[in-house]
Amino acid sequence: MVDRVLIQDDKTAWIFNNDIPTLRKININDKITTVKDISVEIYDMTLTDKNDMLMSLCNSTAVNLLTTKTGEIEIILSVSPLIPLGIHVTKHNEIILGVRDRGDVYNPRNTNCRTFIIFGMDGKQKQSYEFDKHKRRLFTLPARITSNVYIGILVIDRTSDLDGRVVLLNTEGQVKWTYKGNPHDSVVGKPFNPLDIVTTSVGYVIVTDISNHALHVLSGEGDLLACKVLKDEGIIYPMSLDIDTKAQVWVECLSGNEQRKDVKLYVMKMYV
Protein backbone atom coordinates (compact mmCIF):
# COMPACT_ATOMS: atom_id res chain seq x y z
CA MET A 1 0.00 0.00 0.00
CA VAL A 2 1.42 3.39 -0.99
CA ASP A 3 0.42 7.03 -0.90
CA ARG A 4 -1.85 8.40 -3.62
CA VAL A 5 -2.69 11.79 -5.13
CA LEU A 6 -5.72 12.51 -7.32
CA ILE A 7 -6.44 15.90 -8.92
CA GLN A 8 -10.16 16.67 -9.00
CA ASP A 9 -9.88 20.08 -10.68
CA ASP A 10 -7.53 23.08 -10.87
CA LYS A 11 -8.08 23.94 -7.22
CA THR A 12 -8.98 20.65 -5.56
CA ALA A 13 -7.00 17.48 -4.89
CA TRP A 14 -7.35 14.33 -2.80
CA ILE A 15 -4.31 12.90 -1.04
CA PHE A 16 -4.09 9.58 0.75
CA ASN A 17 -1.36 9.33 3.38
CA ASN A 18 -0.64 5.72 4.27
CA ASP A 19 1.18 6.63 7.49
CA ILE A 20 -1.87 8.25 9.14
CA PRO A 21 -3.96 6.65 7.30
CA THR A 22 -6.29 9.38 6.06
CA LEU A 23 -7.84 10.54 2.80
CA ARG A 24 -7.53 14.32 2.74
CA LYS A 25 -9.32 16.78 0.49
CA ILE A 26 -7.30 19.95 -0.07
CA ASN A 27 -7.89 23.27 -1.78
CA ILE A 28 -5.01 24.75 -3.72
CA ASN A 29 -4.80 28.52 -4.09
CA ASP A 30 -1.90 30.67 -2.94
CA LYS A 31 -1.52 28.11 -0.18
CA ILE A 32 -2.82 24.60 0.50
CA THR A 33 -5.70 24.29 2.95
CA THR A 34 -7.35 21.13 4.26
CA VAL A 35 -11.10 20.90 3.55
CA LYS A 36 -11.94 17.41 4.78
CA ASP A 37 -10.29 14.37 6.38
CA ILE A 38 -11.80 10.90 5.96
CA SER A 39 -10.46 7.97 7.98
CA VAL A 40 -10.12 5.21 5.39
CA GLU A 41 -7.34 2.89 4.15
CA ILE A 42 -7.11 3.17 0.37
CA TYR A 43 -5.25 0.91 -2.02
CA ASP A 44 -6.14 2.91 -5.13
CA MET A 45 -8.63 5.53 -6.30
CA THR A 46 -9.90 7.07 -9.54
CA LEU A 47 -12.37 9.74 -10.62
CA THR A 48 -15.62 9.06 -12.45
CA ASP A 49 -17.07 11.25 -15.20
CA LYS A 50 -19.20 12.94 -12.50
CA ASN A 51 -16.08 13.84 -10.49
CA ASP A 52 -16.91 11.35 -7.77
CA MET A 53 -14.33 8.81 -6.65
CA LEU A 54 -14.12 5.04 -6.90
CA MET A 55 -11.87 3.39 -4.32
CA SER A 56 -10.38 -0.02 -3.67
CA LEU A 57 -9.83 -0.34 0.06
CA CYS A 58 -7.34 -2.41 2.01
CA ASN A 59 -8.69 -5.58 3.61
CA SER A 60 -11.90 -5.31 1.61
CA THR A 61 -13.45 -7.25 -1.27
CA ALA A 62 -15.62 -4.31 -2.34
CA VAL A 63 -15.29 -1.26 -4.57
CA ASN A 64 -16.59 1.89 -2.90
CA LEU A 65 -17.97 5.14 -4.32
CA LEU A 66 -17.14 8.40 -2.55
CA THR A 67 -19.49 11.26 -3.41
CA THR A 68 -16.99 14.12 -3.38
CA LYS A 69 -19.54 16.85 -2.58
CA THR A 70 -20.90 15.17 0.54
CA GLY A 71 -18.14 12.79 1.63
CA GLU A 72 -20.59 9.86 1.72
CA ILE A 73 -19.16 6.41 0.94
CA GLU A 74 -21.15 3.45 -0.38
CA ILE A 75 -20.34 0.04 -1.83
CA ILE A 76 -21.12 -0.24 -5.54
CA LEU A 77 -19.78 -3.72 -6.32
CA SER A 78 -18.07 -6.71 -4.73
CA VAL A 79 -15.52 -9.14 -6.16
CA SER A 80 -15.57 -11.45 -3.12
CA PRO A 81 -13.62 -13.60 -2.40
CA LEU A 82 -11.09 -11.67 -4.53
CA ILE A 83 -9.29 -8.51 -3.36
CA PRO A 84 -9.47 -5.29 -5.43
CA LEU A 85 -6.15 -3.62 -6.36
CA GLY A 86 -5.58 -0.99 -9.04
CA ILE A 87 -8.72 0.77 -10.28
CA HIS A 88 -9.33 3.05 -13.26
CA VAL A 89 -12.27 4.62 -15.11
CA THR A 90 -11.77 4.87 -18.87
CA LYS A 91 -12.89 7.62 -21.27
CA HIS A 92 -15.65 5.21 -22.31
CA ASN A 93 -16.90 5.20 -18.70
CA GLU A 94 -15.87 1.63 -17.96
CA ILE A 95 -14.26 0.46 -14.72
CA ILE A 96 -11.04 -1.54 -15.01
CA LEU A 97 -10.17 -3.33 -11.78
CA GLY A 98 -7.08 -5.38 -10.94
CA VAL A 99 -7.78 -8.22 -8.51
CA ARG A 100 -5.99 -11.03 -6.71
CA ASP A 101 -6.88 -13.90 -4.44
CA ARG A 102 -5.45 -14.46 -0.97
CA GLY A 103 -2.59 -16.67 -2.15
CA ASP A 104 1.11 -15.78 -2.04
CA VAL A 105 1.38 -12.16 -3.21
CA TYR A 106 4.39 -12.46 -5.51
CA ASN A 107 4.54 -16.19 -6.25
CA PRO A 108 1.12 -17.13 -7.60
CA ARG A 109 0.52 -20.78 -8.42
CA ASN A 110 -1.53 -22.06 -11.32
CA THR A 111 -4.59 -22.18 -9.09
CA ASN A 112 -4.21 -18.56 -7.94
CA CYS A 113 -5.98 -15.58 -9.53
CA ARG A 114 -4.26 -12.45 -10.82
CA THR A 115 -6.42 -10.65 -13.35
CA PHE A 116 -8.16 -7.46 -14.32
CA ILE A 117 -11.87 -7.17 -14.84
CA ILE A 118 -13.82 -4.64 -16.91
CA PHE A 119 -17.16 -3.50 -15.48
CA GLY A 120 -19.84 -1.12 -16.65
CA MET A 121 -20.84 1.70 -14.34
CA ASP A 122 -23.84 -0.41 -13.41
CA GLY A 123 -21.45 -2.88 -11.77
CA LYS A 124 -22.01 -5.62 -14.35
CA GLN A 125 -18.93 -7.49 -15.50
CA LYS A 126 -18.12 -7.18 -19.20
CA GLN A 127 -14.77 -8.94 -19.61
CA SER A 128 -11.77 -10.26 -17.69
CA TYR A 129 -8.18 -11.05 -18.66
CA GLU A 130 -5.78 -13.33 -16.79
CA PHE A 131 -3.69 -15.18 -19.41
CA ASP A 132 -2.27 -14.29 -22.80
CA LYS A 133 -2.90 -16.25 -26.01
CA HIS A 134 -0.07 -18.62 -25.05
CA LYS A 135 -1.77 -19.37 -21.70
CA ARG A 136 0.90 -17.46 -19.78
CA ARG A 137 -0.13 -15.43 -16.77
CA LEU A 138 -0.38 -11.71 -17.60
CA PHE A 139 0.36 -10.32 -14.12
CA THR A 140 1.87 -11.02 -10.75
CA LEU A 141 0.15 -8.09 -8.99
CA PRO A 142 -1.80 -5.55 -11.11
CA ALA A 143 -1.30 -2.65 -8.69
CA ARG A 144 -2.05 0.40 -10.88
CA ILE A 145 -4.05 0.76 -14.08
CA THR A 146 -4.59 3.55 -16.57
CA SER A 147 -5.62 3.78 -20.21
CA ASN A 148 -5.19 5.94 -23.25
CA VAL A 149 -7.45 5.90 -26.32
CA TYR A 150 -4.40 6.07 -28.57
CA ILE A 151 -2.41 3.16 -27.14
CA GLY A 152 -4.45 0.85 -24.88
CA ILE A 153 -4.53 -0.29 -21.25
CA LEU A 154 -1.43 0.21 -19.10
CA VAL A 155 -0.78 -1.79 -15.95
CA ILE A 156 1.92 -1.53 -13.29
CA ASP A 157 2.65 -5.16 -12.51
CA ARG A 158 4.45 -5.50 -9.17
CA THR A 159 6.76 -8.52 -9.20
CA SER A 160 8.20 -8.01 -5.70
CA ASP A 161 8.33 -5.36 -2.98
CA LEU A 162 11.32 -3.80 -4.74
CA ASP A 163 10.62 -4.04 -8.46
CA GLY A 164 8.00 -4.27 -11.17
CA ARG A 165 7.25 -3.55 -14.80
CA VAL A 166 4.82 -1.69 -17.05
CA VAL A 167 2.60 -3.80 -19.31
CA LEU A 168 0.59 -2.40 -22.24
CA LEU A 169 -2.37 -4.44 -23.44
CA ASN A 170 -4.74 -3.91 -26.33
CA THR A 171 -8.51 -3.96 -25.90
CA GLU A 172 -8.50 -7.76 -26.43
CA GLY A 173 -6.19 -8.22 -23.43
CA GLN A 174 -3.08 -9.16 -25.44
CA VAL A 175 0.35 -7.79 -24.47
CA LYS A 176 1.75 -5.21 -26.91
CA TRP A 177 4.90 -4.40 -24.93
CA THR A 178 6.49 -4.45 -21.50
CA TYR A 179 8.92 -1.99 -19.93
CA LYS A 180 11.25 -3.13 -17.14
CA GLY A 181 13.29 0.00 -16.57
CA ASN A 182 16.03 2.17 -17.96
CA PRO A 183 18.61 0.02 -19.80
CA HIS A 184 21.36 2.58 -19.11
CA ASP A 185 22.79 1.63 -15.72
CA SER A 186 24.79 4.86 -15.63
CA VAL A 187 21.55 6.82 -15.20
CA VAL A 188 19.81 4.74 -12.54
CA GLY A 189 21.42 1.97 -10.55
CA LYS A 190 18.68 0.15 -8.63
CA PRO A 191 15.96 -2.14 -10.00
CA PHE A 192 13.02 -0.35 -11.63
CA ASN A 193 10.46 0.15 -8.85
CA PRO A 194 7.28 1.63 -10.40
CA LEU A 195 4.46 2.74 -8.12
CA ASP A 196 2.20 4.95 -10.24
CA ILE A 197 1.47 5.74 -13.88
CA VAL A 198 -0.33 8.36 -15.98
CA THR A 199 -0.63 9.13 -19.68
CA THR A 200 -0.65 12.52 -21.37
CA SER A 201 -3.12 13.80 -23.93
CA VAL A 202 -0.71 12.94 -26.76
CA GLY A 203 -0.03 9.40 -25.56
CA TYR A 204 3.18 9.73 -23.57
CA VAL A 205 3.45 7.52 -20.47
CA ILE A 206 4.93 8.81 -17.18
CA VAL A 207 5.92 6.36 -14.44
CA THR A 208 7.26 6.98 -10.93
CA ASP A 209 10.35 5.00 -9.90
CA ILE A 210 10.68 5.38 -6.14
CA SER A 211 13.97 3.49 -5.65
CA ASN A 212 15.82 5.67 -8.17
CA HIS A 213 14.00 8.94 -7.29
CA ALA A 214 13.04 9.22 -10.96
CA LEU A 215 10.26 9.68 -13.49
CA HIS A 216 10.40 7.57 -16.66
CA VAL A 217 8.76 9.02 -19.76
CA LEU A 218 7.84 6.47 -22.42
CA SER A 219 6.43 6.68 -25.92
CA GLY A 220 3.22 4.91 -26.83
CA GLU A 221 5.43 2.15 -28.29
CA GLY A 222 7.18 1.57 -24.96
CA ASP A 223 10.46 3.30 -25.84
CA LEU A 224 12.21 5.34 -23.16
CA LEU A 225 12.11 9.03 -24.14
CA ALA A 226 13.52 10.49 -20.92
CA CYS A 227 14.49 9.45 -17.42
CA LYS A 228 14.32 12.43 -15.10
CA VAL A 229 16.26 11.84 -11.88
CA LEU A 230 14.34 14.06 -9.45
CA LYS A 231 16.96 13.69 -6.74
CA ASP A 232 19.10 16.11 -8.79
CA GLU A 233 16.42 18.72 -7.99
CA GLY A 234 16.17 17.77 -4.33
CA ILE A 235 13.02 15.67 -4.83
CA ILE A 236 13.12 12.15 -3.40
CA TYR A 237 10.91 9.06 -3.18
CA PRO A 238 8.19 9.84 -5.77
CA MET A 239 5.19 7.72 -4.87
CA SER A 240 2.19 8.91 -6.85
CA LEU A 241 1.37 11.34 -9.65
CA ASP A 242 -1.51 12.84 -11.58
CA ILE A 243 -1.98 15.36 -14.42
CA ASP A 244 -4.30 18.38 -14.16
CA THR A 245 -6.21 20.19 -16.89
CA LYS A 246 -3.24 22.51 -17.48
CA ALA A 247 -1.04 19.49 -18.28
CA GLN A 248 0.92 20.02 -15.07
CA VAL A 249 2.25 16.90 -13.37
CA TRP A 250 1.57 16.62 -9.63
CA VAL A 251 3.98 14.34 -7.79
CA GLU A 252 3.45 13.14 -4.23
CA CYS A 253 6.66 12.16 -2.44
CA LEU A 254 7.76 10.86 0.91
CA SER A 255 9.49 13.43 3.11
CA GLY A 256 12.56 11.21 3.51
CA ASN A 257 12.46 11.75 7.27
CA GLU A 258 11.43 8.63 9.22
CA GLN A 259 10.34 10.82 12.14
CA ARG A 260 7.76 12.65 10.02
CA LYS A 261 4.50 11.28 8.65
CA ASP A 262 3.74 14.10 6.23
CA VAL A 263 4.25 13.96 2.47
CA LYS A 264 5.49 16.53 -0.03
CA LEU A 265 3.60 17.63 -3.12
CA TYR A 266 5.35 19.05 -6.19
CA VAL A 267 3.92 20.53 -9.39
CA MET A 268 6.01 20.44 -12.54
CA LYS A 269 5.89 20.74 -16.31
CA MET A 270 7.30 17.87 -18.34
CA TYR A 271 9.16 18.60 -21.57
CA VAL A 272 10.22 15.67 -23.75
136 and 247 together in one domain: yes
211-251 confidence digits (pLDDT tens): 999 999 999 999 999 999 999 889 999 999 999 888 889 99
Query: What total of structural domains would you count in the chain?
Result: 2
167 and 264 together in one domain: yes
20-72 confidence digits (pLDDT tens): 888 999 998 888 899 999 999 999 999 999 999 999 999 899 999 999 988 89
98 and 185 together in one domain: yes
Region 182-187: mean pLDDT is 63
End residue of a domain, out of 61, 78, 95: 78
CATH code: domain of residue 111: 2.120.10.30
DSSP 247: -
pTM more than 0.95: no
The neighbouring-strand residues paired with 243 are: 249
244 and 224 together in one domain: yes
65-97 confidence digits (pLDDT tens): 999 988 899 999 999 999 999 999 999 999 999
Rounded CA separation 54/207 (Å): 21
Note every long-range contact of 53-60, with CB atoms under 8 Å and residues 24 or more positions apart, other chains counting.
Answer: 53/6, 53/14, 54/87, 54/89, 54/95, 55/87, 56/84, 56/85, 56/86, 56/87, 56/97, 57/84, 58/1, 60/84
Rounded CA separation 66/26 (Å): 15
End residue of a domain, out of 78, 93, 118: 78
269 and 248 Cβ atoms separated by less than 8 Å:
yes
138 and 153 Cβ atoms separated by less than 8 Å:
no
